[in-house]
Amino acid sequence: MAFDIDMIKGVYAKMAERVDKAREVTGKPLTLSEKILYSHLWDGNPTKAFTRAKDYVDFAPDRIACQDATAQMALLQFMQAGKPQVAVPTTVHCDHLIQAKSGAAADLKSANSTSAEVFDFLESVSNKYGIGFWKPGAGIIHQVVLENYAFPGGMMIGTDSHTVNAGGLGMVAIGVGGADAVDVMAGMAWELKFPKLIGVKLTGNISGWTSAKDVILKVAGILTVKGGTGAIIEYFGEGAKNLSCTGKGTICNMGAEVGATTSTFGYDDSMERYLRATDRSDIADEANKVREYLTADPEVYDNPDNYFDELIEINLDELRPHLNGPFTPDLATPVGELGVKARENNWPINVDWGLIGSCTNSSYEDLTRAASIAKQAITKNIKPKSDFGINPGSEQIRFTAERDGLLQIFEDLGATVFTNACGPCIGQWDRSDMKGDEKNTIVHSFNRNFSKRADGNPNTHAFVGSPEMVAAIAISGKLDFDPMNDTLINEDGEEVMLDEPMGIELPVKGFEVEDAGYLAPREDGSSVDVKVAKDSERLQLLEPFEPITPDELQGVKLLIKAFGKCTTDHISMAGPWLRFRGHLDNIANNTLIGAVNAYNKKTNFVKSQLTGEYGGVPDVQRTYKAKGIKTIVVGDHNYGEGSSREHAAMQPRFLGVAAVLVKSFARIHETNLKKQGMLGLTFANEKDYDLIQEDDTFNFVDIADFAPDKQLTIEVVHGDGSKDSIKANHTYNAAQIGWFNEGSALNVIKRENAA
Ligand code: F3S
């Protein structure tokens, strides 16, 4: 389990030299983000200044982390690469496949039985290829990474969009698709467009009911779900230094909700305290030796306007607690104003559940702050009006919180303590209190609140807040409750107020755990047998994709024109479908079933141009596939936002979709389409989206000349025979066009390995 201190010493040794060189070639002071990026260049010392938002750059990440849902496909792909061991330290974390229902013990037992085949596969494949394995129940990937592997100034990638959580410990940590992780596991460079930089200056101090979570809820309201696209958000200022390390993690975690590449903070005393508390004093000692390299140059923070592409300033003294939602994490409303808004919009005021946990807010400090509110319900004799569910972030936190009596406080309120896992945050929630699709409200301390995400019910209005605010609202049972001003009536009929939350940053008696849930891999795993049953429903060995030929790109049929938001959840739904994440054919049966058809505003109801009949998207697509006809998906802005799952690209690819043409992409999804050898294109003229009709056929007239920085021309033939010629932009560089030409990035890796 231990991190590799020699590896970290190596990173720091290179950092000083490379940062000095980068300062020389760029001719300016450097932000922290630039220091980390330039010191992780694949080619070693920097030789040129990169242009933000333009240059594609090869990097050498220090670590990789994968969660169980995405690891299946990533490792199935890695097995195809023909390598004996992973080239970079890698861990697998079993956290997504555990359903929350009755409580930790029963739920874990049930998951270990229903997903035994998948856990056994992940354990054996980890053992074989030198990957550290965190068992089901060990904790949520990002909390476990923060506790064990994150280090200031490091760079990591992870097959989960909230990998960015490790920015709380001063990393550049980025969520990627499994295909990107496979490149790095196979010893290849990892490519990223050099990001823009958004600076967030925090002044003042957090106090009272306001928490670190409210910083990012506020930032989400300012930037919206796409405002951070292509950018690293770098937080600085006195206010930043005064936040705890796990609070910084919360802020970085939800950077994913504004589309940011990642977020980070400069190394400071809070990080040092956290490193020492989590038994990593040797990292703190090393970090202290290179402190000036682990934060921006002083000139940057003195004149931030000169060094960031965008600057936001937040005075923490004035920041109020927020609840964001429903249905989108950027709909930010200060607590106290929510009642009016809820009534205007007809959102249910009664709150049925308060859920505390997820990778966003499950630290020891989070649990203490929420427990300090929960305890008042007991001492002030207030009967909680909502149900409570708690997901501790890791076994280390759970064990310590149990030892310190925190979990007992929640249990005294009737809370269910679920497994140390994602649970309701990813739709793994067997919710017993709702029978059908009833309209209802829940509050949670998670990061995402898209429709259906927590419980599969499109009418569940989910609001995101800090754990302590979730506790207060759940106790009151009312969305319009403002604990700073409102009173509650207790069981004695008295009016009482909740006092401000009290948190403990790090456990006074230290962290403790009996079995953290880690399995180290064998030194030599060559004799380990990885078994995938031929008739398995859950796992399927992969076949390489054939290249899409220019001929196949003539006569391409429209599969669906998606209307409005189309996230990776809409393209490849989670919840019950998680069980098929390792079986491409089976999971393809959920392809785009959540996308809204622009012509009838229905989901999973599209016209087949072969029969004129309407049917489910996967069914219609399979009929095109059977006839060898390629199709296209058309979409709106920020298509593919949400998560890093490459299934959202692999499934359409597997079913025969050749191209996705949209107004704009979420970064990770666009890369995933490229990796799978598909065309990911954007309208040169956004208005051309309106030209696309239900019976359209597409001819990619100049695809044979596909080249970097060159628009593609598409002839759109409408049902009545009339035609439009439209231009499409793309961001493929020469190597990525190679992936397209060879069928996938993996095909290129395999050929290069064999050479
Ligand atoms: Fe898990 Fe939700 Fe985080 S799914 S990794 S707890 S965003």
Angle between helical axes of 734-742 and 667-675 (0-180°, round to 10): 50
Using most ligand atoms within 8 A of CB, pick from 70, 426, 568 the residue to mutate for ligand 1: 426
How is residue 572 written in tokens?
């490849």
Q: Which residue has the CA at smallest separation from atom 2 of ligand 1?
A: 425
Contact 631, 553 (CB under 8 A): no
Contact 83, 479 (CB under 8 A): no
Cα 96 to averaged position of ligand 1 atoms, centre (Å): 7
Q: Which residue has the CA at smallest separation from atom 5 of ligand 1?
A: 359
- Distance, CA of 631 to CA of 150 (rounded, Å): 42
pLDDT band at 353 (very low <50, low <70, confident <90, very high): very high
Determine which helix (DSSP H) or strand (DSSP E) holds 54, and give its type and residue range: none
Instruction: Classify 441 as helix, strand or coil.
Output: strand
Using most ligand atoms within 8 A of CB, pick from 358, 361, 453, 573 the residue to mutate for ligand 1: 358
Domains 5-315 and 322-496 share a fold: yes
Contact 137, 420 (CB under 8 A): yes
Does ipTM exceed 0.95? Answer: yes
Average pLDDT over residues 439-452: 94
Q: Which residue has the CA at smallest separation from atom 4 of ligand 1?
A: 426
Query: Does the Cβ of 162 fall within 6 Å of ligand 1?
Result: yes
Cα 668 to averaged position of ligand 1 atoms, centre (Å): 17
Using most ligand atoms within 8 A of CB, pick from 92, 159, 162, 254 the residue to mutate for ligand 1: 162
Dihedral of CA 720/724/729/733: which sign? Answer: positive
What does CATH list as the number for 551-754?
3.20.19.10
**Tokens 């899409």 belong to which residue?**
548
- Per-residue pLDDT, 60: 98
Q: Which residue has the CA at smallest separation from atom 3 of ligand 1?
A: 359
In DSSP terms, 351 is beta-bridged to 441
Cα 484 to averaged position of ligand 1 atoms, centre (Å): 30
Question: Which among 638, 646, 574 has a CA at the least distance from the CA of 176?
Answer: 646
Task: Write down the CATH superfamily of domain 322-496.
Answer: Aconitase, domain 3 (3.30.499.10)
Query: Quick one: which atom of ligand 1 is closest to the CA of 160?
Result: 5
Query: Does the Cβ of 426 fall within 6 Å of ligand 1?
Result: yes
What does CATH list as the number for 5-315?
3.30.499.10
Contact 363, 277 (CB under 8 A): no
Query: Quick one: which atom of ligand 1 is closest to the CA of 362?
Result: 6
For 2-18, write each residue's pLDDT tens digit.
668 999 999 999 999 99
For 214-224, write each residue's pLDDT tens digit.
999 999 999 99
Query: Does the Cβ of 160 fall within 6 Å of ligand 1?
Result: yes
- Per-residue pLDDT, 80: 84
- Per-residue pLDDT, 1: 53
Please say if the pLDDT value at position 179 is more than 90. Answer: no
The residue extents of the domains of the chain are: 5-315, 322-496, 551-754
**Range list of H helices, 224-337:** 238-241, 245-253, 269-277, 281-289, 298-302
For 64-102, write each residue's pLDDT tens digit.
999 999 899 999 999 988 789 999 999 999 999 999 999
For 518-572, write each residue's pLDDT tens digit.
999 999 999 999 988 889 999 999 999 999 999 999 999 999 999 999 999 999 9
Query: Does the Cβ of 569 fall within 6 Å of ligand 1?
Result: no
Question: Which among 481, 509, 506 has a CA at the least distance from the CA of 377?
Answer: 481
Please say if the pLDDT value at position 674 is more than 90. Answer: yes
Query: Does the Cβ of 748 fall within 6 Å of ligand 1?
Result: no
Q: Which residue has the CA at smallest separation from atom 1 of ligand 1?
A: 422
Contact 31, 170 (CB under 8 A): no
The amino acid present at 400, given as its one-letter code, is T
Q: Which residues are catalytic?
A: 95-96, 160, 448, 643, 645
For 385-436, write each residue's pLDDT tens digit.
999 999 999 999 999 999 999 999 999 999 999 999 999 999 889 998 887 8
- Per-residue pLDDT, 82: 77
For 232-244, write each residue's pLDDT tens digit.
999 999 999 999 9
pLDDT band at 731 (very low <50, low <70, confident <90, very high): very high
**Dihedrals phi, psi of 192, to nearest 5 degrees:** -145, 140
Cα 646 to averaged position of ligand 1 atoms, centre (Å): 16
Contact 144, 166 (CB under 8 A): no
Query: Quick one: which atom of ligand 1 is closest to the CA of 256?
Result: 7
Task: Measure Cα distances from 703 to 174, 196, 511 in Å.
Answer: 32, 30, 58
In DSSP terms, 429 is beta-bridged to 100
Burial class (CB within 10 angstroms; exposed 0-12, middle 13-18, buried 19+) of 754: exposed
